[in-house]
Structures are given as C-alpha cells and as structure tokens.
Amino acid sequence: MNTLLSLADNLRTFWSYTGFFNAEIGHIIMILVGLVFIYLAITKEYEPLLLIPIGFGILVGNIPFNEAANLQVGIYEEGSVLNILYQGVVKGWYPPLIFLGIGAMTDFSALIANPKLILIGAAAQFGIFGAYIIALQMGFAPNEAGAIGIIGGADGPTAIFTTSKLAPHLLGAVAISAYSYMALVPVIQPPFMRLLTTKKERVIRMKSPRVVSQTEKILFPIMGLLLTAFLVPSGLPLLGMLFFGNLLKESGVTRRLAETARGPLIDTITILLGFTVGASTQATTFLRVESIKVFAIGALSFVIATCAGIFFVKMLNLFLSKEKKINPLIGNAGVSAVPDSARISQIIGLEYDPANYLLMHAMGPNVAGVIGSAVAAGILLGFLY
Amino acid sequence: MTPTVEKALLIAGIGMAGIFVFMAVFYLLILALDRFLPYQEEKPAEELSEDSVSEEEE
C-alpha cells in the first residue's frame, strides 16, 4: 500500500513538472505565433534565416515548466544555458558582430558612384523620429519611446543594440516587431510607392553609375570610421564594426578574414541572436498591451520611413536637371532592410518599364539606410541613455 | 504642447539635422575622393610588364 502511495506521489510530482500541467493560454498563443513565423519562413520565404531561429526560439521560450522547481532551463533564470546565450543580446555583443559580417558582404560602390543617394538614406530616418514622437504621445517613457522608434530603422541588430541599452524590458517586443516588419517589407512598401508616385515618375531612367576605383573602395570605410568616431561616437560599436568588415572585404589582402566575417561568423551570431530573441518572448513578459502598442507604432514607423524616402527624392528632383533626375521608386530603399527594399524598387520599376533596372541605383540608398539608422541609434543613445 | 512633447520634438529635430549633417559630410568626402583620386583604368599585369620591357629596350 505504501509503495502505491509513494508511486502516486511521484507521479503527481512528475505531472506537476510537465508542460501540460503548467500550460496557460498565454503559452499556447505564443506557441502559435512561433508556428506562424516558421510557416511564413518556409512557405512564403519571408526572411527565413531570421524567422526560423526566432520562430523556433519562441517555441522553446514558451514551453511551460515549473519555475519554482529551479530547473535552470528558462531564459530569465540566471546561469541557465539560454540565459548565458541571451547575454549577447542583453549586453549588446551580437549586433556589432552582425554588423562586422554585413560590412564584409556590402559593396558600397553604388553609393560612392552616386553620393547624393546617401541623402535618401538620411531622409528615411524620419521613420525613427516619427515613431519616437508617436510613442511618447502614447504614454511611453522617453527611453522606451527611443527604443520603439528605432524599429523604423528597419535594422534588426541596430534595434536590438539600442533597446538593450534604453529599455531592455521591451527587447522581445521591439526585436520581434522589427524583424517581422523587415520580413513584410514586400507587403508594406509597394502600396505607398504606387500611391505617392505618378506614372511619369515611375519610368524615369537613371544614368548608369560610374566605375569606382579600388582606392576609393578602400578609403571609404576608413573615412567612414573616422567620421563616425568624431561626429557620433555613440554609434561606434555598430558603424565601427560595419566599416571594419568592409575594409576586410575591400583591402584585398584579408580575404580569409572577410570570408569568415560574412560566412561562419555572421551565420553563428544570427542563429544565436534569432534563437535567444525568440526565446525571450515568454508569454508572461511578452503578452501585454504594451507589446501591441509597440507593434502598431512599428508598422507606422515603416510607413513613415518609406513615405519620407519617396518624398525626399521628389523634392530633390525639383533641383536636378532632366538627365540627372532620380526615380522616386528608389526612395523606399532608404529603409535599410537590405536588400529587400532595394529589390522592391526593382520589381515595381520593372512593372512600369520592363527595361528599367533600378536595383543598382536602389542599393545606394539601401546601404546608406544602414549607416543612417546606426547614426540615428547613436544620436538617440547620446540623448536618452 | 506638453514639455515632454516639446523635448521630443527638439530631440527629433536635432536627430534628423545630425543625420543630415553626418550624411552631408560623407557626401562631400566622397566627392573629394572622386576629385582627387579619379578612376583610372587599371592596366592588366601583362601589359605593365610589356611596358617595362619596352622602356628597358629604349
């Protein structure tokens, strides 16, 4: 009889440790969100390299368990494996390493060949500051508003880096929002691009960019680094690594390092970053009204950034001669979702003129957007950190 | 207008101005690069060695 009672006790304890016993409706909702991410990544191919790790991370982070049992499995339990990996997000180590890889894979030739395109990358940052003001109006504290605003930069690593400093409690919501909207750029941008441009503007043909010398390509990241260091030192962790990676690529003598930075290193960090950001969205910390507000403001920031880029090109065209005019369809590419927003410019452009290839022109504002969002992050950190 | 919004507008204004200044300086630096280090067609290595041989012959 005693044996039976003890067995029943053990079974009861075992049951109390299972996910079935500890599951709440929030866990189920988040598991469904994770499954949607994985579904979108596989079937629609929306940013699969990010959405698969994030989606799977959401599943792992929302497996219900008995927190009182001190199993050391949760991402917020100090000393757990997930918690150790999550430190790269919390302390901001991962984003600069991702920027190193981005630098090693980015060709700045389009920007160097037509430098006025860099200003489009600046104009698109209205999305960040517009969202910042909206977030403040919606009752967020200034540091939280800054973290939410950075979603408009359409740059996951920058958003994570800034939020980890300004409002770590919003990290999950901001990161998921930024990556979701980056994946949805092909859905969000085209309607506004059509709405804000005329048929005549959409068929503007731009001059082929000039050839860029290797010397220019080598000097560009060095100049960029020095400019960043002196003008916006708070942007140094991101931009410093971006330009360092680019110098590895362009110097021509560090091919192995460049290949590691743009290959195994960035892949490893992407896996760790995506997975831990996903796992950080535990239902108890993620499912709040705040998160819904963050998502709403995030969507608005993408719209503002897209519109600002297009309006800026239209304004710039007022001052340019006929042969130097810029096709406003590349204005959206100031939103730094590389290379998706540049591809959208190309796709929409081809719809109206099948021989008008805008991709090479759109890559200029696109890479300028990466620089612009990191500068904006540096400015926000300078004011609010 | 509340002081918070006023401060937000100020930060946004300075922020956007800061980004444009940064990008404008970048723009000028790139123009300077193009001016002082214009693109010159790089000669293939064989052509270079032929040149040096012909110089020696002379």
Domain boundaries, chain B: 1-38
Task: Kindly compute the dihedral angle of the four CA atoms of residues B7, B12, B13, B16, in this order, to the nearest 10 degrees.
Answer: 160
User: Nearest-CA residue of chain A relative to B2?
Assistant: A137
- The mean pLDDT value for B14-36 works out to 90
Chain A contact probe: residue of B14, B20, B30, B36 with most A CBs at under 10 A = B30
User: Nearest-CA residue of chain B relative to A126?
Assistant: B16
CB pairs under 8 A between A and B: 102
Between B4 and A1, whose confidence is greater? B4
Query: How far is the alpha carbon of A297 from chain B, nearest alpha carbon, in Å?
Result: 16
Q: What is the pLDDT of residue B51?
A: 54
User: ipTM higher than 0.90?
Assistant: no
* Contact call for B26 and A213, based on CB within 8 A: no
- Is residue B58 scored above 70 in pLDDT? no
Three-class HEC string of chain A: CHHHHHHHHHHHHHHHHCHHHHCCHHHHHHHHHHHHHHHHHHHHCCCHHHHHHHHHHHHHHCCCCCHHHCCCCCCCCCCCHHHHHHHHHHCCCHHHHHHHHHHHHCCCHHHHHCHHHHHHHHHCCHHHHHHHHHHHHCCCCHHHHHHHHHHHHCCHHHHHHHHHHHCHHHHHHHHHHHHHHHHCHHHHHHHHHHHHCCHHHHCCCCCCCCCCCHHHHHHHHHHHHHHHHHHCHHHHHHHHHHHHHHHHHHHCCCHHHHHHHHHHHHHHHHHHHHHHHHHCCCHHHHCCHHHHHHHHHHHHHHHHHHHHHHHHHHHHHCCCCHHHCCCHHHHHHHCCCCCHHHHHHHHHHHHHCCCCCCHHHHHHHHHHHHHHHHHHHHHHHHHHC
Which residue's structure tokens are 């930069």?
A153
Instruction: Give the count of beta carbons closer than 10 Å to the beta carbon of residue B22.
Output: 24
Q: What is the pLDDT of residue B54?
A: 53
Given pLDDT bands bounded at 50, 70 and 90, which one contains residue B50? low
Query: How many whole angstroms separate alpha carbon A293 and alpha carbon A277?
Result: 19
Q: What is the pLDDT of residue A338?
A: 80
pLDDT in tens, A298-313: 999 999 999 999 999 9
Chain A contact probe: residue of B7, B26, B40 with most A CBs at under 10 A = B26
- Positions in chain A whose pLDDT score sits under 50: none
Which pairs from A319-323 meet CB under 8 Å and 24+ separation? Answer: A323/A207
Measured between beta carbons, the chain A residues lying within 8 angstroms of B26 are 115, 118, 223-224, 227, 371
- Stated length of chain A: 385
Q: What is the pLDDT of residue B49?
A: 56
**DSSP letter assigned to residue B26:** H
* Contact call for A214 and B7, based on CB within 8 A: no
Please give the model's pTM, rounded to 2 decimal places: 0.86
Closest partner residue to A376 among B9, B15, B29, by Cβ? B15
Measured between beta carbons, the chain A residues lying within 8 angstroms of B29 are 223, 227
